[in-house]
Amino acid sequence: MTYRTRTFVSVFLASLAALAATTWLIERSLRLYLEDDIRNNLLTQARVTAALLAERPSILDPDQEADLLGRLLQARVTFIAGDGQVLGESDPVASPETMENHASRLEIMLARETGEGTAIRESSTTGVRTQYTAVRVRDNPIAFVRVALPLTVIDQRVSHLRRLALVGLGAGLASALLLTWIASVLLNRRLEAVAVTASRYKAGDFTRPARDHGRDEIGIVANVLDDTARELGLKLADMARERAHMDAILTGMVEGVVLVNAAGRLVLTNPAVRSMLRLPANAEGRLYVEVVRHPEISAQLSAALAGGTPAAVDVDLDQNGRRVFIARVVPVAHERGGGAVLVLHDVTDLRRADQVRRDFVANVSHELRTPLTAIRGYVEALSDEPPADDSRKFLEIISRHTLRMERLVRDLLRLARLDAGQETLERVDCSIVTLVSSVEHDMQPVLDARRQTLQITIAPDAATVSGDPAKLHDVLRNLAENASNYSPEGGTIEIATSRTAESIVLSVSDRGPGIPDADIPRIFERFYRVDRSRTRDPGGTGLGLSIVRHLIGLHGGRVSAANREGGGARFTVDLPLEPLT
């Protein structure tokens, strides 16, 4: 059944019920009104008759008197004695002698008690439903006057009204039928228009302008739904464009990308990662533990789903180890649904180039070391000969630059060993006082030449650190030499230690020109020199701070640089209390 048919039938039945109920109520009201009117008229006639009889204490023929009054009142009149015997009856069919005693009649019983009584029942004499009214008569053998009238007149009037009501009901039903049909047609047209618009929106057609559906309840709902659907359509179009852009970006990326939801199921993968991890075609929607076979990547995804942010790791996805990847996993915020994002970078070429660079530095350093050693030996041999002209001066220049080149080669070799992981730690408990004293002893000639002093402040709870003594000595010496090179003559170099809850903090400070803020992030890079603020050439290799960073990294610590108040720079080393396993 269509909505139009249901609406039509519902409205028609409601109209039919309303008209039927109205007709029934009018008929019942009319019947009650007529019955009440007849009762009042009969009661008035009985009262008048009782008053007339009270003025006539003796009547020769009560039956003849009842006939006379019945003709005058056009009603049935009955005279009844006090014991209930019928004395006179106007109905020609009935005779007082044959009529039964009326003492038990309801109207008579009420009149005996209150003076007046009424009742409606079917007459035992005529067999017709009749309205009875009785009034008590004073000082007369006739104790009660009863006036009765058949209610057939009411039935006639009600029947006439019913006929008129049925005619009105038919006309009303016809009008209701017509109006309901018209209303259902108009309503159906509006609903069909809304349905057509909804079908267009369902098909994704948002090009046509929205129509005005009116200002009634249906129109308001339709307009709201129309506006909402158009807004959703625009948002869906934007999302489709963004999804297309994202798909294009992911498809064109050489990096592999995997998106996992909070339940651990793969939501999105790009072609690159499907090739890298050899994922099946139906991988999306499955648990990552089922399709990702690499244990380190699975461990990172598990840590990210647990709320952590795991560090990037190198993974070998090639069985022969010829391809190296960096795997980075970051968690997705719970506000965005949770989950994790995995990105795989192919760094095979970078690692190969880095290895080539390391091999080149190591090989060149070894190749340079032999001729430099020979040059230095011959310079020392020539220096033992008596000076001739300016030869002594030239030999000193050659010796100085040879020593500098030897330091450069030595530092390059050490960096190459550090990059290759060939430097090992021999961790013991080291006395910082001993380390600082050793560094001070090594640098004493330089300090004396520049009239500089070391100011040492060792905290009692930071006098010992766990580490490799030789490597920590190299760290302190590099930092102290750097501070000496950039401190003014006669200046003070401060070395201090302190303790925190997790580390021993060692700082080396100078009173030099300081470090420009833009250069601080690059101060530990190889060969990086802050020429703008430190114009004097200290004769270093430019690798000392880089070596310091690598050596501290071996200990699991960190080193940083900052400018101090009042001028100068401060280098701070944090060494963990608990050695890394």
Written in H, E and C, the secondary structure of 360-392 is HHHHHHHHHHHHHHHHHHHHHHHHCCCCCCCHH
Domain CATH number, residue 283: 3.30.450.20
Is residue 578 very low, low, confident or very high in pLDDT (cuts 50, 70, 90)? confident
Q: What is the pLDDT at residue 139?
A: 78
Q: What is the pLDDT at residue 532?
A: 42
Q: Are residues 399 and 448 in the same domain?
A: no
How large is the angle between the packed helices 469-485 and 544-554, nearest 10 degrees?
A: 150
Q: What is the pLDDT at residue 317?
A: 73
How large is the angle between the packed helices 544-554 and 391-419, nearest 10 degrees?
A: 30
Between CA 21 and CA 32 the distance in angstroms is: 16
Q: What is the pLDDT at residue 362?
A: 65
Q: What is the pLDDT at residue 59?
A: 72
What is the per-residue pLDDT across 262-309, written as a single tens digit (0 to 9) for each? Answer: 888 888 888 888 878 888 877 888 888 888 888 888 888 888 888 888
Which uninterrupted H or E stretch holds 345?
Answer: strand 340-346
Q: Are residues 274 and 362 in the same domain?
A: no
Task: Lowest mean pLDDT of 159-168, 207-216, 414-423, 517-526, name the range.
Answer: 207-216
Q: Are residues 20 and 131 in the same domain?
A: yes
Q: What is the pLDDT at residue 4?
A: 60
Dihedrals phi, psi of 316, to nearest 5 degrees: -105, 110
Which uninterrupted H or E stretch holds 410?
Answer: helix 391-419
pLDDT surpassing 50 at residue 534:
no
Q: Are residues 415 and 476 in the same domain?
A: no
Q: Are residues 493 and 566 in the same domain?
A: yes
Task: Report yes or no on 179 lying in a domain.
Answer: no
Mean pLDDT calculated for residue range 256-265: 86
The model scores a pTM over 0.85: no
Is residue 574 very low, low, confident or very high in pLDDT (cuts 50, 70, 90)? very high
Q: Are residues 473 and 533 in the same domain?
A: yes
Between CA 27 and CA 331 the distance in angstroms is: 81
Task: Report yes or no on 247 lying in a domain.
Answer: no
**C-alpha pair distances (Å), 181 with each of 9, 10, 185, 191, 530:** 9, 11, 6, 15, 94
Mean pLDDT of the chain, nearest integer = 79
Residue finishing a domain among 322, 346, 370? 346
Q: Percentage of the chain surpassing pLDDT 70?
A: 78
Task: Report yes or no on 246 lying in a domain.
Answer: no
222 vs 515, higher pLDDT: 515
**CA 556 from centroid of its chain's CA atoms:** 42
Task: Lowest mean pLDDT of 132-141, 226-235, 454-463, name the range.
Answer: 226-235
402 vs 298, higher pLDDT: 298
pLDDT surpassing 90 at residue 324:
no
**C-alpha pair distances (Å), 417 with each of 84, 169, 413, 420, 575:** 144, 111, 6, 5, 22
How many domains, the chain? 4
Both tokens of residue 388? 């001739």
Mean pLDDT calculated for residue range 113-117: 89
Are 474 and 551 spatial neighbours (Cβ–Cβ below 8 Å)? yes
Q: Are residues 557 and 444 in the same domain?
A: yes
Q: Are residues 439 and 512 in the same domain?
A: yes
What is the per-residue pLDDT across 36-53, written as a single tens digit (0 to 9) for each? Answer: 888 888 888 888 888 888
Q: Percentage of the chain surpassing pLDDT 90?
A: 5
Task: Report yes or no on 205 lying in a domain.
Answer: no
Domain CATH number, residue 543: 3.30.565.10
Residue finishing a domain among 376, 398, 419? 419
Task: Report yes or no on 194 lying in a domain.
Answer: no
Q: Are residues 290 and 405 in the same domain?
A: no
Is residue 517 very low, low, confident or very high in pLDDT (cuts 50, 70, 90)? confident
Task: Report yes or no on 197 lying in a domain.
Answer: no
Task: Lowest mean pLDDT of 197-201, 422-426, 466-470, 471-475, name the range.
Answer: 197-201
Are 134 and 108 spatial neighbours (Cβ–Cβ below 8 Å)? yes
Q: Are residues 397 and 525 in the same domain?
A: no
What is the per-residue pLDDT across 193-233, written as a single tens digit (0 to 9) for each? Answer: 777 777 766 766 666 655 665 666 666 766 777 777 777 77
Is residue 535 very low, low, confident or very high in pLDDT (cuts 50, 70, 90)? very low
Q: Are residues 287 and 378 in the same domain?
A: no
Q: Which domain holds residue 299?
A: 253-346
**CA 200 from centroid of its chain's CA atoms:** 29
DSSP-assigned beta bridge partners for residue 345: 326
pLDDT surpassing 70 at residue 530:
no
Q: Are residues 454 and 540 in the same domain?
A: yes
Residue finishing a domain among 419, 437, 458? 419
Is residue 128 very low, low, confident or very high in pLDDT (cuts 50, 70, 90)? confident
